Structure 1
């Protein structure tokens, strides 16, 4: 039950991922960025897929080719949703048939929006529309506000139906009864001009995307004060790369 956007900023070439989900840990499960691209791994998540795709981009494979390789070897591909964008706005988009409705995606010139278990397709539409209509906005805030627009359009589905394994009985429950109120969100950006606010996350929060926007403004204000006090001597290199430890 996740909504994400991956995008490339035209002027700077920065790559970013932003989104939210109705469990804790969006920031540790979904976003992957490097100076070669941005990936979101969601639905029934396989984090390794995102990390492997960034590794393939480092080897000069295209996003499309790398994504095809990764999905082809994933035995649970029907349960995955993965979107990615690379240099020259190359793209990959996959939504498995076993991911939960409403599931869909929109591919734009320099972005992809995808969601699963959404209230309606309008959620994805409004996210994409906001991003397209606000090209002059600071990249971090543009990504956050795009997801916020999707949230305001309905966000995640409010009830979910599932089948009991033995009796085959269909059960309908509110999603909060199943997953609780520990929602989460994150923003992750890879840039040649890195900033402290390029790596932000909210966990176990009832309104994670609203809290993420507040965190962005608070962090940016703090960063400017820090830079002024230390006269620009602090060089920021926010963490955005993850390796697989076996």
Structure 2
């Protein structure tokens, strides 16, 4: 099942501080993909799919957080996994990327690896799904540049949030054909983003899932838009409470 993108962006914010952000976006023709495939920390992003072994994601993140390079971490896990020929595993950290597609994955399967992102999928309509996802992300990527947006909510004229751009890449791959199993109508999608930059209030649109629907990409996009609106409305209403860190400042 599944196609997904893992990506890293390094950037300098308007205060001159350097940061990394990591994210995964994924969709499949099965329910609950957000509970199985994407794993993200402020140090790396990993996706585990095909015949899913969630421990590859959990332990991969933990190993990178402990200091291993993503390539070393994921290769070590696959070497110890008897089911490796049926797995897809890919990810990025601050220094590079890794992608693996076992030779027993379902056709069409494959991956595309770049220094700052990876895309992988199986049971797809064709290779163009992977290429289109990657090229759509590349056309909007923000890497080794200045992002002059700031604050909670965001202000400034910088790029769209990372989560939105990952959803856009996923949507492009889906329009290209996506998962080929037309007979499976219950689908799901998810996006998760972590960053080394601290926010006064963590944006909720950086961790979203649509667990069971027949229109996963459009539903994920709509969920993202509602999360942004709700976040901004909440901050506007409860600004004093957040500043004072006290519910005594809440107005009805």
Alignment length, in residue pairs?
215
Indicate conservation of the 8 Å contact 2:208/2:224, yes or no. yes
Paired position in structure 1 for 2:223: 215
**Length-normalised TM-score, structure 2:** 0.82
| Secondary structure of residue in 1 paired with 2:20 | coil
Counterpart CA distance in 2 for 1:232 and 1:121 is: 51
Is 2:157 aligned against 1:150?
no
State which of 180, 192, 198 in structure 1 corresponds to 2:206.
Answer: 198
Counterpart CA distance in 2 for 1:58 and 1:122 is: 33
Q: Please state how far the C-alpha of 1:134 moved relative to its aligned partner.
A: 1.0
Structure 1 residues without counterparts, runs of 5 or longer? 159-174, 236-246
Q: How does 1:165-244 map to 2 (within 5 A)?
A: 175-176=182-183, 180-191=184-195, 192-193=197-198, 194-231=202-239, 233-234=241-242
Paired position in structure 2 for 1:134: 140
Paired position in structure 2 for 1:171: none
| Secondary structure of residue in 2 paired with 1:4 | strand
Is 2:22 aligned against 1:18?
no
Is 2:47 aligned against 1:43?
no
Q: Please state how far the C-alpha of 1:233 moved relative to its aligned partner.
A: 4.5
Residues 228 and 102 of structure 1, relative CA distance in 2, 3 Å threshold:
same
Q: Please state how far the C-alpha of 1:207 moved relative to its aligned partner.
A: 0.9
The root-mean-square deviation of aligned C-alpha atoms, in Å, is 1.4
Counterpart CA distance in 1 for 2:240 and 2:87 is: 43
Counterpart CA distance in 2 for 1:129 and 1:109 is: 14
Counterpart CA distance in 2 for 1:92 and 1:67 is: 8
Structure 2 residues without counterparts, runs of 5 or longer? 12-18, 142-158, 244-252
Counterpart CA distance in 2 for 1:181 and 1:234 is: 42
Instruction: Return 220-229 or 187-196, whichever deviates more.
Output: 187-196
Counterpart CA distance in 1 for 2:224 and 2:61 is: 26
**Length-normalised TM-score, structure 1:** 0.84
Counterpart CA distance in 2 for 1:234 and 1:71 is: 45
